[in-house]
Structure 1
Amino acid sequence: MAQHNETGRQGEAEAARYLREKGYEILATNFRYQHAEIDLVAQKGKLLVFIEVKTRTGTAFGNPEEFVSYTKSRLVMKAAEHYIFTHNWHHDVRFDIVAILVSGSGQQIRHIEDAFS
């Protein structure tokens, strides 16, 4: 597996751990619908949260969250719509980004709530 794929996989696992500590229940990982993928689907009370995880090892090209493009956000929303319909969800939803910056001294996690609005 390429190093960037391994970094991304580890970032998703770390994001799931972080969210569990904050009281979220992880319902799905890497949920796919057509050409779209949602990294994490979580629930906290009556709130369903679709989470895009971005992990980077440096900021030379920008912060991790800056790599969520308009196109990516639209694909996530399309997959979320399918998830909501197939799971018959009738409560609130939110789209978040968990940005993880990994460095030699550790990592920084930033949870950006309601990131697509």
Structure 2
Amino acid sequence: MSKQKTFGKFGEDSAAKFLEAQGYTIVARNFRIRSAEIDIIARRDDVLVFVEVKARSDIRHGLPSEAVTFRKQKKIIEAAGVFLQDENFSECACRFDIVEVYLRGDCVEEINHIENAFEVEQDI
């Protein structure tokens, strides 16, 4: 596995543990369709949360959440629509979050959970 993929996986694993500690249940990880992937799908109460994880070792290239462009948001929303069609979560409200993971070597320095980071302009 490449260094970048290992770094990203460590960030995603850290985000999943963080969400579980906050009372979320992880429903799926790395849900993939042809053109998009959702890093984590979690549930707390009756809210299904689609989570994009961005890990960084520094902010020279901007904040992690700034890497979730409008185009990336559209792809995540598209994948969420497919997930909702395939699974039985029609009674759940949905939300799109970003989890920023700041890493220094093999250590997590900080995790920021941005709830409602972006919204769907129409029903999915």
- TM (norm. structure 1) is 0.95
Q: 1:101 and 1:40 mapped to 2: Cα distance? A: 17
RMSD (CA atoms): 1.2
Gaps in structure 2 of 5+ consecutive residues:
120-124
Aligned residue in 1 for 2:80: 80
Aligned residue in 1 for 2:98: 97
- Equivalenced residue count is 117
Instruction: Using the TM superposition, give the Cα deviation of residue 106 of structure 1 relative to its aligned residue in structure 2, in angstroms.
Output: 4.4
Aligned residue in 2 for 1:113: 115
Gaps in structure 1 of 5+ consecutive residues:
none
Q: 1:107 and 1:41 mapped to 2: Cα distance? A: 23
User: Counterpart of 2:57 in structure 1: which amino acid?
Assistant: T
Instruction: Using the TM superposition, give the Cα deviation of residue 92 of structure 1 relative to its aligned residue in structure 2, in angstroms.
Output: 0.3
- TM (norm. structure 2) is 0.89
User: Counterpart of 2:118 in structure 1: which amino acid?
Assistant: F
Which stretch of structure 1 is more off in the superposition, 99-108 or 65-74?
99-108
Instruction: Using the TM superposition, give the Cα deviation of residue 50 of structure 1 relative to its aligned residue in structure 2, in angstroms.
Output: 0.2
Q: Is the 8 A contact 2:29 2:41 kept in 1?
A: yes
Instruction: Using the TM superposition, give the Cα deviation of residue 101 of structure 1 relative to its aligned residue in structure 2, in angstroms.
Output: 1.1
| Residues 29-54 of structure 1: per-residue CA shift (max 9 Å, x gap) | 00011111000000001100000000
SS in 2 for 1:84: helix
SS in 2 for 1:20: helix
SS in 1 for 2:59: coil
User: Counterpart of 1:107 in structure 2: which amino acid?
Assistant: E
Q: 1:75 and 1:44 mapped to 2: Cα distance? A: 23
Q: 2:34 and 2:4 mapped to 1: Cα distance? A: 23
Please show how residues 1-117 of structure 1 align to structure 2 within 5 Å.
1-90=1-90, 91-103=92-104, 106-117=108-119
Structure 1 residues 95, 106: CA separation in 2 closer, same or farther (over 3 Å shift)? closer
* Percent identity over paired residues: 39
